[in-house]
């Protein structure tokens, strides 16, 4: 089948994605997404996070999801769930993977396999407040993307640059963003 005629590539409805992109281009409000996520402490190092709102183009979407975080026993947790850093890196990887899959689909490229690996080191002296010169987070995160499909190496290299430029979570991790914090004591 001619790639230009394919309507579903990598599980993506190409015509639907093209139509949605066109509608958002014509009416940017349709592309506004709002997230509200609430995390409650459960005890020790465990928390439960609930997706309390997701809206797309001003319309609420049903997102009945929760997930829990914990720390390994070596960091005084129960080791029952991934820790927040693992979710952060996994969320970035997942966001990038969606970018590769959708971008490849829009070009008619079928992906056979895709993996995104992120690695980073954190010096706990920063988190524990033991040193003013040690950051509490990462200095560097390294990503390795492994992709196989019917695209050329040049097409995949171009797709890689597009994903780095357009992935929301790649941007959020790689770029300074405004973060406002409010404390409410009850």
| Joined tokens for residue 111 | 């992906």
Please tell me the number of Cα atoms within 13 Å of 127 on its side-chain side. 8
Q: What is the pLDDT of residue 111?
A: 97
Report the mean per-residue pLDDT for the chain: 95
pLDDT cut 90: percent of the chain above it: 96
Q: What is the pLDDT of residues 81-113, one digit of tens each?
A: 999 999 999 999 999 999 999 999 999 999 999
pTM above 0.85, yes or no: yes
Residue 114 pairs in a beta bridge with: 147
What's the rounded Cα separation, in Å, for the pair 107 and 25?
19
pLDDT bin (cut points 50, 70, 90) of residue 2 is: very low
What's the rounded Cα separation, in Å, for the pair 164 and 15?
24
- Average pLDDT for 121-147: 97
């Amino acid at each position: 089948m001619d790639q230009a005629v394919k309507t579903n590539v990598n599980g993506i409805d190409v015509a639907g994605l093209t139509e949605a992109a066109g509608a958002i281009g014509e009416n940017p409000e349709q592309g506004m997404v709002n997230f509200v996520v609430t995390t409650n402490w459960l005890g020790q190092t465990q928390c439960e996070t609930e997706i309390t709102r997701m809206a797309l183009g001003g319309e609420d979407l049903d997102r009945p999801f929760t997930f829990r975080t914990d720390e390994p026993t070596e960091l005084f947790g129960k080791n029952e769930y991934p820790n927040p850093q693992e979710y952060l890196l996994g969320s970035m990887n997942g966001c990038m993977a969606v970018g590769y899959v959708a971008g490849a689909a829009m070009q008619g490229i079928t992906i056979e396999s895709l993996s995104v690996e992120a690695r980073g080191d954190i010096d706990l002296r920063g988190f524990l407040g033991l040193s003013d010169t040690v950051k509490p987070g990462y200095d560097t995160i390294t990503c390795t993307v492994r992709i196989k499909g019917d695209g050329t190496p040049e097409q995949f290299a171009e797709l890689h640059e597009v994903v780095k430029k357009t992935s929301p979570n790649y941007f959020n991790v790689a770029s300074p963003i405004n973060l406002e914090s409010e404390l409410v004591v009850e």
